[in-house]
Amino acid sequence: MSHVMDTYARQPVAFVRGEGVWLWDETGKKYLDALAGIAVNTLGYGHPKLKKALSERIDSGVLHTSNLWRIPSQEAAADRLAEITGLDEVFFCNSGLEANEAAIKIARKYGHERGIAEPALIVMEKAFHGRSLATLSATGSRKVQAGFEPLVSGFVRVPLNDLDAVRQVAEHNRNVAAVMVEPIQGEGGINVARLEYLRGLKEICERQQWLFISDEVQCGLGRTGKWFVYQHAGFLPDVVPLAKGLGSGVPVGACVAGGRAKGIFKPGNHGSTFGGNPLAMTAVITTIDTIKEEGLLANAARVGELIRGGLPHAADIVEVRGMGLMIGVELARPCGELVKQALDAGLVLNVTADSVVRMLPPLIMSEAEGREVLDRLVPVLTAFLEKRAAA
Ligand SMILES: Cc1ncc(COP(=O)(O)O)c(C=O)c1O
């Protein structure tokens, strides 16, 4: 019996080697990876630039120093994030929930500075922001919250893509200091916020002087064909929490702030022992530079389009959703067993929100490999739908 705490329903497969978009399990079986460790392995496996940069970091002997001292690689990583986000300052942490905790703290402090005694954030139904007490309270899923009450207060929930609901809150609730939204909900089922909606939300934020927090932990960092989803909508948010793909497999998160959120945190307001250490910063710098050097934004758009366009039309496929290499296929019924069936066919994917097949491939996936995803997925999907139709 394993001594690992039993918090996950794991598949009985272990990947022990990887190269490009390919993985091998303990028996030597080869798989095509259309999940990237849930949007983490941006550069796939064994990318030569990442291997070289991390090896050099290890050779330097300095993996960690602490935020008591200057960290030049942290400054260099922050410069890059400021450039690609269009925002001003970066707090580094180690995960998505930490990036969101920082965002929630910034929103509360911003509210207090505006004279709001009990600042609140507007959050969305079906959102996922993490599993700390504050971020699970912000999350729009009873399954995530159940058993952990009392929840953290100060969150007002509205449906995604419903501006009237936000206007109603604006009219009746004087405590709101910020809106927090995933522009494409990942765990919730690849639910895409309409760009018109995002622009409308931004306008309301401007009018009300609320912070706009764009949780791009899953959808950000190039996956949709631009660095960030708000760039498709054409405006700047105030806060952008990031993690997952930021370090291509090295754990790292970041809370990027600008606009009204700039300068809210002062020395002593927030901290993290590991946050922004030289090992993680080397991964961030290399990930961002490689996305640029290898044209991976355009690649994500192109290969994503190819995969979405090649999915079959069938009565039991409710909708194909997403942007770039963030792809959801909603089926008419729960389809958890598809994960195992895809593994059997040598394809790694995931099912979320019970009935949505989710693919988040590495951004280095080529068009040929995208076609290979379809070659493996379509028969599995078709067999699943036919079997269910016959049952
Ligand atoms: C949009 C979003 N925010 C936050 C998180 C939490 O990130 P982490 O698991 O690194 O704490 C996730 C994780 O799935 C996410 O998808």
The whole-number pLDDT of residue 388 equals 66
CA of 387 to the centre of ligand 1 (A): 34
Please state, in angstroms and rounded to a whole number, the distance separating the CA atoms of residues 231 and 251.
25
pLDDT (tens place) for every residue of the chain, 391 residues total: 799 999 999 999 999 999 999 999 999 999 999 999 999 999 999 999 999 999 999 999 999 999 999 999 999 999 999 999 999 999 999 999 999 999 999 999 999 999 999 999 999 999 999 999 999 999 999 999 999 999 999 999 999 999 999 999 999 999 999 999 999 999 999 999 999 999 999 999 999 999 999 999 999 999 999 999 999 999 999 999 999 999 999 999 999 999 999 999 999 999 999 999 999 999 999 999 999 999 999 999 999 999 999 999 888 999 999 999 999 999 999 999 999 999 999 999 999 999 999 999 999 999 999 999 999 999 999 999 998 667 6
Q: Which of 7, 133, 141, 217 to mutate to test the pocket of ligand 1 (most atoms within 8 A of CB)?
A: 217
Mutate to test the pocket of ligand 1, among 7, 38, 97 (most ligand atoms within 8 A of CB): 97
CA of 127, closest atom in ligand 1? 1
Query: What pLDDT score does 28 carry?
Result: 98
Backbone angles phi, psi at 91, to 5 degrees: -105, 125
pLDDT at 361: 98
Ligand 1 atom closest to Cα of 185?
A: 1
Q: For residue 158, what are the β-bridge partners?
A: 124
- Ligand 1 pocket: which residues have CB below 6 Å? 95-97, 100, 128-130, 182, 186-187, 215, 217-218, 243
- Of 91, 128, 155, 228, the catalytic one is 128
Task: Please pick, among 202, 215, 226, 235, the residue that the annotation labels catalytic.
Answer: 215
Do the beta carbons of residue 310 and residue 379 sit within 8 Å?
no
- Ligand 1 atom at minimum distance from 243 CA: 10
Catalytic residue among 238, 244, 265, 384: 244
The model carries a pTM of 0.98
Largest CA-CA distance found in the chain, in angstroms, rounded: 65
Q: Is the peptide bond before 362 cis (omega within 30 degrees of 0)?
A: no
Pairing of strands 347-348, 239-242: unpaired
- β-pairing verdict for 22-25 and 30-33: antiparallel
Contacts of 143 (CB under 8 A, 6+ apart): none
Atom of ligand 1 nearest to the CA of 130: 6
Q: How far is the CA of 14 from the centre of ligand 1 (A)?
A: 22
What is the residue with the minimal CA distance to atom 7 of ligand 1? 96
Q: Which numbered atom of ligand 1 lies nearest the CA of 244?
A: 10
Q: Whose CA is nearest to atom 8 of ligand 1?
A: 96
- Residue 15 is among the residues annotated as catalytic for this protein: no
Contact 363, 296 (CB under 8 A): yes
Report the relative pairing of strands 191-192 and 347-348 from DSSP bridges: unpaired
pLDDT at res. 1: 76
Pocket test for ligand 1, best of 132, 216, 244 (most atoms within 8 A of CB): 244
Give me ligand 1 centre to Cα 379, in Å: 31
297 contacts 226 by C-beta, under 8 angstroms:
yes
Decide if 265 is catalytic.
no
Calculate the alpha carbon distances from 302 to 225, 309, 319, 325, 358 in Å: 8, 11, 20, 9, 18
| End-to-end C-alpha distance for the chain, whole angstroms | 37
Is 164 annotated as catalytic? no
